[in-house]
Amino acid sequence: MPKAEARAVRHGFPWVYANELVLDRRTKALEPGSLAVLEDAGRIAMGLVAVNPLSRIAARMLDPVPGAVIDRAWFEKRIAAAQTHRALLYDAPFYRLIHAEADGLPGVVVDRFGDVAVIQPNAAWAERLLQPLVEALVEVTGVTTVLKNASGRARALEGLDETSEVLVGQAPEGPVEVPMNGATYMADLTGGQKTGLFYDQRPNQAFAAGLARGARVLDVFSHVGGFSLAALAGGAERALAVDSSAPALELARKGAEASGMAERFDTRQGDAFDTLAALGAEGESFELVVCDPPAFAPSKKALEAGLRAYERIARMAAPLVADGGYLVLCSCSHAADLAKFRAASARGIGKAGRRGPIVYEGRAGADHPVLPQLAETGYLKALVFRL
């Protein structure tokens, strides 16, 4: 490896890109997910890596000890450390258990739903070593069901398939109830988005709920009611959830019913931009408006278009906020850093003829730790404006 890149890896950067590696013929022929010792330009060993010659991320650091053995015991140690942290944070086992590189398991995501764990092995090495990984997961956590979710862009970039399956136990017959922020959410663990529920917004939903007492709430890109159900639990007068997915809104309605809040909860299915325009034309007004869209800028190539989309959302949502009310704008695009997202949001609000300070800036919950050397692990941003 070149000197600068080698220094970055020694200081904790977990990836080696293809253009940073010198590969001989034998190394280029390695199967994706193979393990190898990474050496610097002086042939000094730097650690044990997982190699994927087919990926732009050609090597992922697994262990700084070159002779480490990646077996069930190795996985158990990493998973146990992750679980110890989450057990301090939450009084019930509903959280992100493994957050990839930040928990020492590059490319691996595990969300826990009580006795069920949903795993996303988004790197070739994890797919190759899935059996000892799952065995360790069951041993450490005691879960009785492990589901593999193979959806998502990350697996395609690693050359992996999209076949989801039940690895241990039996899949739940219906949605799983998830207690969070005083509400009950319904998570579809087999047919829903990603692992079935987004835990990352938990602290931001809790903050917004504190602003929602007596408020009319609009939750755009609501999925299964993330912000709206938390707001109702926090004392909101009414909440309207907007999403393009009918199944997600049905789960949101079931969550409202399970939480005893159905009479204060409404849904509207449709395109978010069209619905914002329609609500504006109807003269609607809300004390709390939340827009939590999917990643508009999932890559650097999409950054400029994504920032324009965030600006547009802010411009269309701001007029719906009552005077003195709050506008919550979120981004899960790692390519759009906080400064760029904040600027795009402020431009949109200004173009709508509104203004006001930011009263809160949030990120993902502590079950989504950030690896300081890897900006991608700090992808989530939440801004709360008072207009």
CB 155: neighbour CB atoms within 10 A? Answer: 21
CB 26: neighbour CB atoms within 10 A? Answer: 7
Q: Which of 249, 202, 204, 210 is nearest to 232 (CA)?
A: 210
* Active-site residue (options: 143, 332, 344, 387): 332
Q: Can you say whether residue 106 is alpha, beta or left, with left for phi > 0 and alpha for psi between -120 and 50 degrees?
A: beta
Residue 117 and residue 60 in contact, taking contact as beta carbons nearer than 8 Å = no
- Separation of alpha carbons 345 and 350, rounded Å: 9
Strand 145-148: give its sheet, edge to edge.
94-99, 108-113, 116-121, 145-148, 165-168
Does the annotation count 332 as an active-site position?
Answer: yes
Q: Residue 330 forms beta bridges with which residues? A: 382
Helix axes 130-141, 72-89, angle to 10 degrees: 40
- Separation of alpha carbons 258 and 371, rounded Å: 37
Residue 38 tokens read as 């990474």
Q: Which of 188, 149, 191 is nearest to 166 (CA)?
A: 149
Question: Catalytic site residues?
Answer: 332
